[in-house]
Amino acid sequence: MDQFAALAFVFIAGLITAIATGIGALPFFFVSDVSDRWNVALWGIASGIMVSASLFGLVLEGLANGTPLQLGVGLLAGVALVVVAHYIIEGAEVNPKKYEEADFRKLLLILGILTVHSFPEGVAVGVSFADLGLGGGVELFGFAVPLLAVFMTIAISIHNIPEGLAISIPLRTMNVSNWKLVWWAIFSSLPQPIGAVIAFYFVRIAREFLPFGFGFAAGAMVFLVVTEFIPEALELGKRLPRGGKVELLAGLSAGFAIMIPLAFI
């Protein structure tokens, strides 16, 4: 299989997940605000999708391709990436109002912050395409695409929609136009196709690292859910009855309900 064609295919898959983030900005074409109740539920759905995709997709594939020790090392490495990235950018504050006038240096800072959240998701997509063109899976545009890759691309795309909404809300308060909301939502996920290509290329040339790669992607995503998504949902739900926990649990359940059937097709 042509290496360039494979890399381009994986890049497009990652780009699709990034573009899906822009869908999160579309509600503002019809309403001026999104309630805290819906916002908490959407964060719950995103978290449920991420955890179920990690457990029933990446972790199971990691165990099928290697040992629990290899998977565990990968999981810890994924957690370490997020911890180190947060440490490096800790204290960096970005005012959404300044997105419009951002100079090159500020854009680099913004991209660095967003990469912390988006890059691991891109890695998950890239690793899931490790068997692209090697037989099995489904035929798509002349490529034999692994079912895991289809599963992960759908999972990350659905997950990115509430993430795009979360990015759009503070920008909306600064009177950023609707189409620019869509652009900045997509921009926030542009590291995903880049991460997908890097991860795919790495596991293709060094397949012995494949179980570590699955663990790495799963560890980073689950850690992001525990340290970022769920705390964000609970913060938004403070003013709701029971602190928004009912909405969060409903969203988590919905996220699992969406992805578990796909995982066992």
pTM of the model: 0.73
Q: Give the DSSP H/E element, type plus range, for residue 104.
A: helix 104-128
Instruction: Render each residue's pLDDT in the chain as its tens digit; 265 residues.
Output: 577 888 999 999 999 999 999 998 898 888 777 788 888 888 888 888 888 888 888 898 889 888 999 999 999 998 998 888 777 666 555 554 454 444 445 555 555 556 666 777 888 899 889 888 777 778 877 788 888 888 889 888 987 887 787 778 767 766 778 898 898 889 888 889 998 999 899 888 877 888 888 898 889 888 888 888 888 888 888 888 888 899 999 999 998 888 777 766 5
pLDDT value, residue 229 = 81
DSSP states along 8-64: HHHHHHHHHHHHHHHHTTGGGGT-S---HHHHHHHHHHHHHHHHHHIIIIIIHHHHH
pLDDT of residue 103: 47
Cα separation values, 145 from 10, 13, 84, 134, 135, Å: 10, 11, 33, 8, 8
For position 99, what pLDDT does the model report? Answer: 47
| Total residue count of the chain as it appears in this document | 265
CA distances from 18 to 122, 163, 182, 194, 245 (A): 9, 11, 11, 10, 29
- List the chain domain ranges: 3-263
Say what the pLDDT of residue 89 is.
62
- Structure letter (DSSP) for residue 229: I
Report pLDDT for 88: 67
129-133 long-range Cβ contacts below 8 angstroms, 24+ apart: 129/9, 129/10, 129/13, 129/196, 129/200, 130/200, 130/203, 130/204, 130/207, 130/210, 130/213, 132/1, 132/6, 132/9, 132/10, 132/200, 133/1, 133/6
Pairing of strands 138-140, 143-145: antiparallel
CA–CA distance, 258 with 50 (Å, rounded to integer): 11
3-state secondary structure of 141: coil
Contact 34, 27 (CB under 8 A): yes
Question: According to the model, what pLDDT value does residue 48 have?
Answer: 87
Q: Cβ distance 237 to 47 under 8 Å? A: no
